[in-house]
């Protein structure tokens, strides 16, 4: 009987320990990895669109970015999308190192820009802002290491309460646990937007990263529901992606003009010497 009790106690401790480790790994920020080399840029303006379901669904629509940039660039551009539906920023970052399809996508072409749609599932799953910041930092570091300019989609507006209502009871309990641990409300979108700004400032990314502010294209959610969102109120419809494409094209156009001015200024200074 004594040995049976000891066996049961050890089993309970092991189970609790396993659960603790699993929960810790679930909520813990990623461990940053050593960046790897991708294909070198060869005077193209290929654009990657990566991230969660917003990137995944972008693949299925008739992208207008190359057409919008046609008159602004001296070389051809094209857009290629790769998305992992339902994944958090940490899962997307880790997939850039562990998912062979993702790695092949990143190495297949010489991207100059990369649009990143990540963090919506962090908000929905109530991860910590530290989790989001460190994951985004890892993604940014890998892209900058390969001279790819990151264009980050700021957390857009959507009905967080509606999404929360979709979760099963066990998932809701997990979200509640996270909200208590990290002291965040159900609608924590602005906390994550602020966290991104903090990251950009802390790491000195101001001139290395572009941010697509949600208010520049998504400033009236209730009206936007009728025009740019699909019926679930979380994902964009075809017109919504056309609107987003125009904002992305404007950001790239601005960045190209900025780079051209800097290049001309350097040439001028060299001539003056």
- Residue percentage of the chain with pLDDT more than 70: 84
Domains annotated on the chain, with CATH? 37-272 (3.40.50.1110)
Separation of alpha carbons 247 and 69, rounded Å: 11
CA distances from 5 to 2, 10, 19, 52, 147 (A): 5, 9, 21, 48, 61
Model pLDDT for residues 225-255, shown as the tens digit of each residue: 889 999 999 999 999 999 999 999 999 999 9
∠ CA 59-29-236, nearest 5°, is 25
For 114, phi then psi, to 5°, come to: -140, 115
Mean pLDDT of 13-23: 55
pTM exceeding 0.75: yes
Mean pLDDT of the chain, nearest integer: 87
Q: Is the pLDDT of residue 97 over 50?
A: yes
Separation of alpha carbons 68 and 57, rounded Å: 20
Paired sense of beta strands 46-51 and 111-117, if any: parallel
∠ CA 159-58-204, nearest 5°, is 75
Q: Which of 81, 218, 196 is nearest to 129 (CA)?
A: 196
Q: Is the pLDDT of residue 21 over 70?
A: no
Angle between helices 129-145 and 89-98 (to 10 degrees): 40
Model pLDDT for residues 174-214, shown as the tens digit of each residue: 999 999 999 999 999 999 999 999 999 999 999 999 999 99
Contact in structure between 111 and 47 (CB atoms under 8 Å)? yes
Mean pLDDT of 95-108: 96
Contact in structure between 111 and 148 (CB atoms under 8 Å)? yes
Separation of alpha carbons 116 and 189, rounded Å: 17
Contact in structure between 134 and 29 (CB atoms under 8 Å)? yes
Q: Is the pLDDT of residue 71 over 80?
A: no
């Amino acid at each position: 009987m004594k040995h049976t009790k000891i066996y049961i106690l050890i089993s309970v401790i092991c189970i609790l320990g396993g659960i603790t480790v699993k929960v810790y790994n679930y909520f813990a920020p990623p461990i940053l990895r050593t960046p790897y080399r991708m294909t070198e840029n060869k005077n193209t303006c290929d654009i990657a669109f990566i991230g969660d379901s917003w990137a995944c669904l972008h693949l299925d629509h008739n992208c207008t970015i190359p057409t919008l940039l046609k008159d602004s660039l001296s070389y051809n551009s094209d857009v290629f999308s790769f998305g992992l539906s339902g994944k958090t920023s940490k899962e997307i970052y880790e997939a850039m190192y562990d998912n062979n399809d993702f790695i092949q996508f990143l190495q297949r072409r010489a991207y100059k820009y990369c649009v990143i749609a990540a963090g919506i599932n962090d908000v929905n799953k109530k991860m910590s802002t530290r989790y989001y910041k460190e994951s985004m930092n890892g993604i940014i570091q890998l892209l900058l290491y390969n001279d790819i300019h990151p264009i980050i989609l700021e957390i857009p507006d959507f009905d967080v309460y509606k999404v929360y209502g979709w979760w099963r009871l066990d998932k809701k309990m997990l979200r509640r646990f996270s909200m208590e641990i990290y002291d965040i409300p159900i609608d924590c979108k602005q906390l994550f937007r602020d966290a991104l700004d903090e990251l950009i400032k802390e790491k000195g990314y101001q001139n290395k990263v572009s941010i697509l502010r949600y208010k520049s294209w998504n400033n009236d959610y209730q009206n936007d529901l009728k025009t740019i969102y699909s019926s679930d109120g979380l994902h964009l419809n075809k017109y919504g992606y056309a609107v987003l494409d125009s904002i992305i094209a404007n950001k790239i156009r601005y960045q190209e003009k900025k780079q051209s001015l800097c290049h001309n200024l350097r040439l001028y200074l060299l001539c003056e010497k």
